[in-house]
């Protein structure tokens, strides 16, 4: 009997730290050997001339979720996971979204059932927490965390989701004691509300005014406040979907001072701008997300943040809404920018876009690409060792990429249910031709080979960020911050001693 169920042979195998020419042996869905000239398996796949990468992890996507405005996403767990797989992603972490009148155990049970029946690749959940009452904080969240839902998202904006600073502090304190990672949507609610009301009162209803209302200053202010709240409690946070230079500079400075702040960005902030919202009629609604795409200066800041470790996580923020009354245009032609669903599709193109414009265009190394799209997500969300790398003992989640394959993006080639893509007509170089999930070849010859419900729930551990933020222990990090605050951040000696102790061994700090 063969030692391996599958051998992927003669490829250039990339992890977040190296690229080697090797074979990968797989048994029972696990990588059991990485080396040269492995014996034949029950199935051999030649990866000669191909790049073999860890399957992607998309740690921010919305699937079968009701938005804060009460609008249902276009994708269910089947269509979203199929689309993810075709784009080289083998793990997703979408949200189980609480709305204020819902009980957390009911929310978790509901999403778990729907995913169990439909997902074709592995998945975990983050909670969205809209009502941090006593029961949520003392009973339901600790229980969810014990079940492997070790991260939660909170909002600083949206009428129906927003938490005030007092509530955010409660949540951060809970996260510190229960070892959860808090993800924060950082935009100043009242700035946006005030601007939006003024714009609408003057008759400015078109999609482009969404980008005006969501001013970068609102993102910068809330980012700064989120960092301050995190420092006060001494617990790491992750700022999601960072878009504006102002926010990126704030995050970088906080990190340089030793704060345990992590941050994520998404394709729309590299490849779109606010000008995309200013298209014919209501077409700009297809580019309407929060925060909105910015300008070329912010795009450059996002690239720099990906490169220097300020933005170690590259997710899709797939939030698919159709361009009709079910999604973007609830009031048809009369829909104002305030009423259209916020969000863009991107689960399938996340990796190909960054591969083409990052790796093939020479902006990122292949190792940086792997870290940004896979390894750092595993580290940040409690999947280290199992997902996000190619190593003996890890799940056999692989993408076999043809670096020379050229594609022109069209909505019709994609597998989600949105019906359009913001990247229509874009030319890409490099594509994941074969995608393997736990040793199963789920995509090959542009064909899906996976059953509904064959994806598995991932009970996640605590984030690596919680055990050693910035390479310091929690107590050390807190003490270091206090020292900095006490000396007014001017004492160069404490800066120097902090930076000399900051570790670069954590995978999520590898992009620099």
Would you tell me how many other CB atoms lie within 10 Å of the CB of residue 274? 19
State which residue, 45 or 156, has the beta carbon closest to ligand DUC.
156
**With the CA atoms of 413, 58, 20 and 35 taken in that order, what torsion angle do they form, in degrees rounded to the nearest 10?**
-100
State which residue, 240 or 436, has the beta carbon closest to ligand DUC.
240
- Tell me the closest approach of the beta carbon of residue 305 to Zn ion, in angstroms: 18
Structure tokens at 96: 């189980």
State which residue, 62 or 210, has the beta carbon closest to ligand DUC.
62
Among 210, 241, 415, 460, binds ligand DUC (CB under 6 A): 241
- Cα separation, 163 vs 174, whole angstroms: 15
- Tell me the closest approach of the beta carbon of residue 403 to ligand DUC, in angstroms: 31
Contact 235, 175 (CB under 8 A): yes
Q: In the window 40-79, what residues touch ligand DUC (CB under 6 A)?
A: 62
- Cα separation, 93 vs 458, whole angstroms: 9
- Tell me the closest approach of the beta carbon of residue 173 to Zn ion, in angstroms: 22
- Tell me the closest approach of the beta carbon of residue 155 to Zn ion, in angstroms: 6
State which residue, 62 or 118, has the beta carbon closest to ligand DUC.
62
- Tell me the closest approach of the beta carbon of residue 155 to ligand DUC, in angstroms: 7
State which residue, 267 or 432, has the beta carbon closest to ligand DUC.
267
- Tell me the closest approach of the beta carbon of residue 317 to ligand DUC, in angstroms: 5
State which residue, 14 or 180, has the beta carbon closest to ligand DUC.
180
- Tell me the closest approach of the beta carbon of residue 261 to ligand DUC, in angstroms: 18
Sign of CA dihedral 126, 131, 132, 137: negative
Q: In the window 270-289, what residues touch ligand DUC (CB under 6 A)?
A: 289
Contact 91, 383 (CB under 8 A): yes
Among 9, 126, 162, 185, binds ligand DUC (CB under 6 A): 185
> Is 317 near ligand DUC (CB under 6 A)?
yes
> Is 290 near ligand DUC (CB under 6 A)?
yes
- Cα separation, 482 vs 474, whole angstroms: 12
- Tell me the closest approach of the beta carbon of residue 415 to ligand DUC, in angstroms: 20
- Tell me the closest approach of the beta carbon of residue 83 to Zn ion, in angstroms: 16
Q: In the window 120-179, what residues touch ligand DUC (CB under 6 A)?
A: none
Among 342, 437, 441, 463, binds ligand DUC (CB under 6 A): 342
89 binding partner (options ligand DUC, Zn ion, none; Cβ < 5 to 8 Å by kind):
none
State which residue, 52 or 71, has the beta carbon closest to ligand DUC.
71
Backbone torsions φ then ψ of 252, nearest 5 degrees: -60, -45
Contact 373, 84 (CB under 8 A): no
Structure tokens at 476: 């050390």
- Tell me the closest approach of the beta carbon of residue 51 to Zn ion, in angstroms: 29
Contact 18, 362 (CB under 8 A): no
In the chain, the N- to C-terminal Cα span, in Å, equals: 46
Residue 490 makes CB contacts below 8 A (sequence gap 6+) with none
# chain residues binding ligand DUC, by CB under 6 A: 10
Contact positions vs Zn ion (CB under 5 A): 185, 317
Strand 89-97 relative to strand 122-123, pairing: parallel
State which residue, 6 or 80, has the beta carbon closest to ligand DUC.
80
Residue 139 makes CB contacts below 8 A (sequence gap 6+) with none
Radius of gyration of the chain (CA): 22
Per the listing, tokens 């009970």 go with: 459
- Tell me the closest approach of the beta carbon of residue 319 to ligand DUC, in angstroms: 4
State which residue, 234 or 305, has the beta carbon closest to Zn ion.
305
- Cα separation, 502 vs 481, whole angstroms: 13
Helix (H) or strand (E) holding 123: strand 122-123
State which residue, 62 or 350, has the beta carbon closest to ligand DUC.
62
> Is 319 near ligand DUC (CB under 6 A)?
yes
440 binding partner (options Zn ion, ligand DUC, none; Cβ < 5 to 8 Å by kind):
none
State which residue, 317 or 395, has the beta carbon closest to Zn ion.
317
Q: In the window 446-475, what residues touch ligand DUC (CB under 6 A)?
A: none
State which residue, 217 or 474, has the beta carbon closest to ligand DUC.
217
- Cα separation, 294 vs 130, whole angstroms: 27
- Tell me the closest approach of the beta carbon of residue 290 to Zn ion, in angstroms: 6
Per the listing, tokens 């009148």 go with: 101
- Cα separation, 343 vs 346, whole angstroms: 10
Closest residue (Cβ) to Zn ion?
Answer: 185
List the x/- string, 389-418, binding to ligand DUC by CB under 6 A: ------------------------------
Contact 272, 289 (CB under 8 A): no
Distances (CA, A) of 58 to 81, 354, 374, 417: 10, 13, 8, 18
23 binding partner (options Zn ion, ligand DUC, none; Cβ < 5 to 8 Å by kind):
none
- Cα separation, 346 vs 424, whole angstroms: 12
Would you tell me how many other CB atoms lie within 10 Å of the CB of residue 496? 10
Which positions lie near ligand DUC, rule CB under 6 A?
Answer: 62, 185, 240-241, 289-290, 317, 319, 342-343
């Amino acid at each position: 009997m063969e030692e391996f169920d599958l051998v992927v042979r003669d490829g250039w195998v990339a992890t977040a730290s190296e690229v080697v020419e090797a074979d990968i042996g797989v048994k029972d869905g696990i990588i059991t050997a990485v080396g040269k000239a492995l014996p034949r398996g029950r199935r051999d796949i030649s990866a000669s001339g191909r790049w073999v990468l860890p399957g992607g992890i998309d740690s921010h996507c919305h699937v079968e979720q009701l938005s804060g405005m009460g609008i249902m996403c276009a994708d269910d767990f089947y269509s979203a996971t199929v689309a993810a797989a075709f784009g080289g992603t083998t793990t997703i972490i979408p949200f189980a979204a609480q709305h204020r009148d819902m009980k957390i155990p009911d929310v978790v049970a509901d999403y778990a059932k729907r995913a169990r029946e439909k997902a074709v690749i592995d998945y975990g959940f983050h909670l969205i927490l809209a009502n941090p009452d006593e029961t949520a904080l003392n009973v339901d969240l600790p229980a969810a965390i014990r079940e492997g839902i070790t991260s939660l998202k909170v909002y600083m904006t949206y009428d129906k989701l927003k938490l005030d600073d007092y509530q955010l502090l409660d949540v951060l304190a809970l996260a510190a004691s229960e070892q959860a990672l808090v993800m924060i949507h950082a935009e100043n609610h009242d700035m946006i509300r005030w601007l939006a009301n003024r714009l609408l009162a003057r008759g400015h209803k078109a999609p482009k005014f969404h980008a005006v209302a969501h001013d970068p200053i609102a993102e910068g202010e809330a980012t700064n406040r989120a960092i301050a709240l995190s420092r006060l409690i001494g617990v790491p946070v992750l700022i999601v979907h960072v878009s504006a230079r102002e926010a990126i500079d704030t995050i970088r400075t906080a990190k340089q001072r030793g704060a345990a702040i992590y941050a994520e960005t998404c394709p729309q902030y590299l490849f779109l701008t606010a000008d995309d919202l200013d298209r014919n009629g209501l077409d700009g609604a297809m580019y309407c997300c929060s925060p909105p795409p910015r300008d070329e200066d912010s795009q450059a800041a996002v690239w720099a943040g990906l490169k220097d470790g300020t933005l170690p996580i590259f997710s899709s923020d797939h939030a698919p809404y159709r361009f009709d009354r079910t999604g973007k245009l609830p009031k048809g032609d009369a829909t104002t920018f305030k009423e259209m669903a916020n969000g863009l599709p991107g689960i399938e193109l996340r990796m190909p876009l960054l591969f083409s414009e990052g790796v093939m265009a020479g902006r990122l190394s292949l190792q940086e690409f792997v870290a940004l799209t896979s390894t750092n997500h595993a580290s940040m969300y409690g999947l280290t060792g199992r997902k996000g790398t190619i190593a003996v003992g890890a799940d056999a989640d692989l993408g076999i990429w043809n670096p020379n394959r050229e594609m022109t993006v069209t909505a019709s080639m994609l597998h989600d249910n949105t019906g359009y893509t913001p990247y229509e007509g874009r030319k890409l170089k490099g594509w994941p031709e074969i995608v393997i999930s736990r040793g199963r070849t789920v995509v090959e010859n542009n064909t899906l080979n996976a059953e509904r419900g064959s994806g598995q729930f991932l009970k996640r551990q605590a984030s690596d960020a919680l055990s050693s933020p910035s390479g310091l222990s929690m107590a050390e990090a807190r003490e270091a911050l206090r020292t900095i605050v006490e000396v007014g951040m001017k004492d160069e000696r404490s800066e120097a001693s902090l930076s000399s102790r900051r570790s670069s061994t954590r995978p999520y700090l590898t992009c620099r």
